[in-house]
Chain A
Amino acid sequence: MKRNLNFIEASSLLEASETTSVDLTKIYLENIKQAEELNCFNTITAERALVDAEKSDLRRQQGTLKSRFDGIPIGVKDLFCTKNIKTTASSKILSNFVPSYESAVTQNCIDAGLISLGKLNCDEFAMGSTNKTSYYGPVTNPWKSNKSDAKLVPGGSSGGSAAAVAADLCVASLGTDTGGSIRQPASFTGTVGLKPTYGRVSRWGIIAFASSLDQAGPITKTVEDAAALFEIIAGHDPKDSTSSIKEKESFYHNLNSSIKGMKIGIPKEFKSDGLPSSTQKAWDDCMKLLQTNGAELIDISLPHTMDALPTYYIIAPAEASSNLARYDGVKYGIREEGKNLIEMYEKTRSVGFGDEVKRRILIGTYVLSSGYYDAYYIKAQKIRSLIKNDFNQAFEKVDAILTPSTPSTAFEIENEPNDPVQTYLNDIFTVPINLAGIPAISIPFANDENGLPIGLQLITNSFEEQKLLNIAKNVQDTVNYESVPKNWWQE
């Protein structure tokens, strides 16, 4: 069978009885087995996947399919709580945690008949952009430079989700994006990653990092797949007070690639001499492509772009410091005994959390402290509204905005800068979108001089995912990027 099946192809094969869900599941479980070296999965649920696949095949025989995508195997970031399946957030502190409940997003997937192959590695509590902060060790990017054998990061925090799709260990996967955690790894792995409008997808049952920024979304092989999986997971959820009451749309069905007459904004603040020439070239080429296909390019300004990163690194840690207070050794997760309550807290949290998580808890605690609150948190909230306002004004003039997804392509695992701020710069193009709560997608566009994928980011106004997906499809269909990593891990 063809390698690298996408969602739509897999559903066609199943429909035509050219394969079964069980066969597909077996193939993917075998792929996963062979790719152990990539460390994409924290937990593989082979037995349960096969049982679920059998049930799907039975439904197909009986004509009781749950959706047209019934029986397709996917992977789930280990941040989604899954009933009776260990859910760790890639943290030691939750290394023994088995939820008694199913997150809204994964429940939607179950209701559509999708088969979960297991839980995908990620940065600890989704904090990171390299996947190196995981308690279960880093994920290796299936891509390698054509000039070196060094292992590369897949990006993060949804590094396992992106790498697993790129290495064909699942048809598609679920990730979460707080500051770029879907788009940046998608960009590093040549996959498609969609960060929906804040409120489109229920956060219920997703382990919280920064509640006002977190949003779940699909990582897929094609834009069509992204539309299909997004349609499955989106929708109002009364259990999430920040969930939008907007009606669910038929994103996949309504997908078309017409962009004639659309106005595409190019923000001047995203231009930089420091941008690698291959990334700059990809960006330029995409502008030309859109123009050729009938869109109009418009220079725009998002004046507060440079303030986004420091703003993000106040708001996200502030929320995280509070969200992670519940991991205290009292109720679930690991506990390190102490002489008294305080010592038990200290030991449990010292042992249970990794360095990056501790760093952000400290930053967050600091910026919320009395005497600093106004100078940091309140100021950050004000800048956040200015950033949102920048986008509002831009969308009065343009339909969408085009930028690079990341300032560089994937880098070596061993070569991460020591200064965490350097690592934080990875998110510079993606973070403003989360602060504004708007949707964006990263799509692979070209390879750089080392043969590594370059992703471009498209952004639209809130709840305009359909338009976003349509433009992305236009680019995808025109550029015809079909590059996949060499499967060196199977050799």
Chain B
Amino acid sequence: MISGWELVIGIEIHAQVKSKSKLFSSSSTEFGSGPNSQVSLVDAAMPGMLPVINKFCVEQAVRSGIGLNAQINKKSIFDRKNYFYQDLPQGYQISQFKYPIVGNGFIEIESDGQSKKVGIERLHLEQDAGKSLHDQDPNLTFVDLNRSGIALMEIVSMPDMTSPEEAVEYVKKVRSILRYLDTCDGNMEQGSLRADVNVSVNKPGDSLGTRCEIKNLNSFKYIHSAIIYEAKRQIKLIESGENIIQETRLYNIDSGETRSMRSKEDAHDYRYFPDPDLLPLILEDDWIKKVRSSIPELPDQKKERFIREYGLSKYDSSVIVSDKSTSDYYEKVVKDRNPKLVTTWVTSELFSVLNKKNLSIDESPISPNHLGELIDNIDSGKISSRQAKDIFEEMCETGKSANNIINEKELSQISDEGELEKLVDNVISLNPENVEKYKNGKDKLFGFFVGEAMKLSKGKANPKVLNDLLKSKLNT
């Protein structure tokens, strides 16, 4: 990125477990409910309340671990991470410190057109804290405990990434895998998936530099620009002879800068110790096996299959499988249809509409069935590609099906030779002079005849059939 320097990047992803209820209580996890409306006695840390592990969250963590090609630990332990804050009702967060539920794993990302392995150090389960609202009152802080106790998976990578692009690819890939597994909705705007990024720089051949951690990045764009800013900051410091201080930094999305939050010296002593309210979490082999057998096809496998089955290019396949909903959409359309045509329509026309309107594939104005119908009409020659684009646009606007629009506008192409022959005969008899000129070698006039015939057909003539007919008639 910056010549003469190497970057080392490691990432901690906090992914909210997709689950109806919290990690240690039965409260709902739904987003956007009224403040403190989803708080049980346990979440509010009332005296004498005890945590009980939510088995579904455990299963979700194990599924995620399997998706990350990671070791599933049959015994893991919940620890208390002790610190005081207003939105941490217990005065400690229940997390996993020494013995996480998931150990070493890896994923593959694309880097410069090559496949690259990024190591996963661990995945552990922990509780989220509540939310402090500082902007509701000039003098008071309000606390909303709806989020308190919601299950998070912390996924820690090895420091295997060397560019902001790789970092973004990594987070994208993890997000994609979790969404395929349905273990996290991956909604970064709502904070369901956020990343802490560790960055250090060093001269090639030198030992690793001192790292800084940038907390709570919740978009790919911010991850990218925060890493660039931070790397440049560190390089500038080193080049001016100063030392990097190991610290936690925050990224300001308005200024695009990172600023110090706390240094290592100020770091909390969390006084981790095993939570005596919870027994060690023991997983049975048979149960893990069962979970393993329920794992769906993941992006890498699907990518290979799409290349194999539909003849997609590596690039197109990557693009389509990177998002599970997109690949589901594609598969619905491509079933029993021409894959080449389907791929073109999905990756160019559909994607550009979604981009323009800033919609996700789930919000697509055109359903897979409707798109399929449109493509059927193209494939059978009933409509031309040119017409198809207009129809597609109208489908986007109105939500109508392709067949409806074609019928309404009588747009269907005239391919019937008998009908077109009449048209052609008509054009020839109406323009004897031009026929004469054409026959005397003025080839350019062919376009004129096509145009006239099209006019007569109100644009519905199948161009190929029309051309063939005109040629044979004029050349005899």
Interface residue ranges, A against B (CB under 8 Å): 80-81, 87, 89, 94, 97, 99-101, 103, 203-208, 210-212, 238-242, 318-319, 321-322, 324-326, 328, 330-332, 341, 345, 365, 368-370, 373, 377
Contacts and interface: CB of A to CB of B under 8 A. Distances in A.
Given A205-B48, A241-B51, A318-B273, A325 B90 contact: yes
A203 B277 CA distance: 9
B82 A368 contact: yes
Given A101-B41, A369-B269, A322 B48 contact: no
A241 B278 contact: yes
A238 B84 CA distance: 29
Interface string B126-158: 000000000000000101000000000000000
6 smallest beta-carbon distances between A and B, as pairs: A325-B91, A368-B271, A211-B276, A212-B276, A205-B48, A326-B45
Contacts of A100: 41, 46
B49 to A, nearest CB: 8
Interface string B270-286: 01110011110000000
A240 B49 CA distance: 9
B52 interface: yes
Contacts of B241: none
Contacts of A210: 276
A330 B130 CA distance: 13
Contacts, number: 98
A87 B48 CA distance: 11
17 contacts: A87-B47, A99-B46, A103-B48, A203-B50, A204-B48, A204-B49, A208-B277, A239-B50, A241-B279, A242-B278, A321-B82, A322-B80, A325-B82, A325-B92, A326-B91, A330-B89, A330-B143
Contact of B47 (A89, A330, A341, A345): A89
B46 A332 contact: yes
Interface in B81-113: 82, 84-86, 89-92
B331 to A, nearest CB: 43
A331 B84 CA distance: 13
A365 B90 CA distance: 15
B52 A239 contact: yes
Contacts of A204: 48-50
A97 B276 contact: no
Contacts of A377: 273
B379 to A, nearest CB: 60
Interface in B41-65: 41, 44-53
B92 A322 contact: yes
Given A211-B277, A330-B86, A101 B46 contact: yes
Contact of B48 (A207, A319, A325, A369): A207
Nearest to A315: B276
Given A322-B92, A368-B82, A241 B50 contact: yes
Given A204-B48, A211-B276, A241 B53 contact: yes
Nearest to B41: A101
Given A101-B41, A331-B89, A326 B47 contact: yes
A241 to B, nearest CB: 5
Interface of B is mostly: loop
A110 B436 CA distance: 112
A80 B41 CA distance: 15
Nearest to A89: B47
Nearest to B83: A325
Interface residues of B, number: 30
Given A207-B48, A241-B50, A325 B276 contact: no
B201 to A, nearest CB: 28
Interface of A is mostly: loop
Contacts of A87: 47
Given A326-B91, A369-B269, A373-B273, A81 B84 contact: no
Given A210-B276, A369-B269, 7 more contacts: A94-B47, A99-B47, A101-B46, A325-B84, A330-B86, A341-B85, A373-B273
Contacts of B41: 100-101
Contact of B271 (A241, A322, A324, A332): A322
A239 B48 CA distance: 11
B357 to A, nearest CB: 45
A452 B84 CA distance: 47
Interface string B258-297: 0000000000010111001111000000000000000000
Contacts of A318: 273
Contacts of B272: 368, 373
A89 B45 CA distance: 16
A369 B143 CA distance: 29
A81 B143 CA distance: 25
A81 B271 contact: no
B350 to A, nearest CB: 50
Contacts of A321: 82, 271
Contacts of B45: 326, 331
B30 to A, nearest CB: 22
B47 A331 contact: no
A94 B48 CA distance: 13
Interface string B164-200: 0000000000000000000000000000000000000
The listed residue with most A CB atoms (<10 A of its CB), out of B47, B89, B141, is B47
B277 A241 contact: yes
A97 B41 CA distance: 14
Contacts of A345: 84
A373 B272 CA distance: 9
A338 B47 CA distance: 24
Contacts of B44: 331
Given A242-B277, A325-B82, A325-B84, A208 B48 contact: yes
Contacts of A319: 276
Contacts of B49: 204-205
A410 to B, nearest CB: 30
A103 B46 CA distance: 12
Contacts of A81: 46-48
Contacts of B89: 326, 330-331
A370 B269 contact: yes
A331 to B, nearest CB: 6
A264 B279 CA distance: 33
Interface in B412-447: none
Contacts of A369: 269, 271
A320 B41 CA distance: 20
Given A325-B84, A368-B82, A206 B279 contact: no
